[in-house]
């Protein structure tokens, strides 16, 4: 007697999470750049946007990109989500939220080392972004300049100039991320290229 076994493979379709992830990035960099550019003061009201848009929105995108098997998207959104968690906590330490002793022990150079680490991370992610689309590639290039500016500023090297580089780059990230988010939503919604994002450069992939 032969038993016939049938196997069914069920695939679960999930929406592209990059629209929400890019929106979160756009919002936090817009708010944060306003402080760097001198349009607003302090970091108190940047903290909520850093936690909920910069961190949680990108973490949501990271988790759902992981479900889709997208290593690049998972690493990018996850890496920057945890960056914003850490930055928000750093600002809270500076402001004495966790006590005066912790605030008194702040060394700006340690933050500079963290920015340097993220510059290295962003540089190799930029290489990967070459094979995504031109909008995302340009966002990563601007993130490179953001971390370059933040690193030099933290170590006091051409601090004023590099602070301005970081500020302008961060505003550029916000504007391009808004565009990328809009393209991800509208191109899918209308089932056509409503907003062009540019084809991959095809330097490393044939």
How many other CB atoms are there within 10 angstroms of residue 130's CB atom?
17
pLDDT reported for residue 6: 67
Task: With cut-offs at 50, 70 and 90, classify the pLDDT of residue 35.
Answer: very high
Helix (H, G, I), strand (E, B) or coil at 178: helix
Convert the pLDDT of each residue in 120-166 to its tens digit. Answer: 999 999 999 999 999 999 999 999 999 999 999 999 999 999 999 99
Q: Is residue 201 part of a domain?
A: no
Task: With cut-offs at 50, 70 and 90, classify the pLDDT of residue 198.
Answer: very high
pLDDT reported for residue 205: 79
pTM of the predicted model as reported, rounded to 2 decimal places: 0.92
CATH number, domain of 57, equals: 1.25.40
Terminal CA-CA length for the chain:
51
Task: With cut-offs at 50, 70 and 90, classify the pLDDT of residue 117.
Answer: very high
Indicate if the pLDDT at residue 12 is higher than 90: no
Question: Which residue is associated with the tokens 């996850």?
Answer: 78
Q: Is residue 6 part of a domain?
A: no
Task: With cut-offs at 50, 70 and 90, classify the pLDDT of residue 4.
Answer: low
Q: Is residue 71 part of a domain?
A: yes
CB 56 within 8 A of CB 47: no
Q: Is residue 86 part of a domain?
A: yes
Q: Is residue 144 part of a domain?
A: yes
Q: Is residue 27 part of a domain?
A: yes
180 — phi, psi (to 5°)? -60, -40
Task: With cut-offs at 50, 70 and 90, classify the pLDDT of residue 5.
Answer: low
**In terms of pLDDT, which residue wins out, 202 or 71?**
71
Q: Is residue 206 part of a domain?
A: no
Domain with 86 in it: 18-190
Indicate if the pLDDT at residue 175 is higher than 70: yes
What is the tally of structural domains in the chain? 1
Convert the pLDDT of each residue in 39-98 to its tens digit. Answer: 999 999 999 999 999 999 999 999 999 999 999 999 999 999 999 999 999 999 999 999
Q: Is residue 2 part of a domain?
A: no
């Amino acid at each position: 007697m032969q038993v016939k076994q049938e196997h069914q493979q069920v695939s679960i379709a999930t929406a592209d999470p990059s629209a929400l992830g890019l929106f979160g990035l756009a919002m936090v960099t817009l708010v944060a750049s306003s402080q760097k550019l001198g349009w607003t003061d302090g970091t108190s009201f940047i903290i909520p946007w850093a936690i909920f848009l910069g961190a949680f929105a990108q973490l949501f995108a990271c988790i759902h990109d992981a479900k889709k098997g997208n290593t690049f998207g998972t690493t990018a959104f996850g890496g920057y989500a945890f960056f914003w968690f850490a930055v928000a906590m750093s600002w809270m330490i500076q402001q004495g939220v966790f006590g005066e002793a912790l605030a008194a022990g702040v060394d700006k150079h340690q933050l500079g080392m963290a920015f340097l680490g993220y510059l290295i991370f962003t540089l190799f992610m930029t290489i990967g972004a070459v094979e995504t689309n031109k909008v995302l590639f340009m966002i990563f290039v601007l993130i490179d300049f953001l971390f370059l500016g933040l690193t030099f500023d933290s170590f006091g090297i051409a601090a004023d100039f590099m602070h301005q580089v970081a500020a302008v780059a961060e505003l550029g990230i916000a504007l391009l991320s808004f565009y990328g988010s809009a393209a991800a939503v509208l191109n899918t919604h209308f089932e056509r290229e409503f907003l062009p994002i540019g084809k991959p450069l095809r330097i490393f992939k044939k």
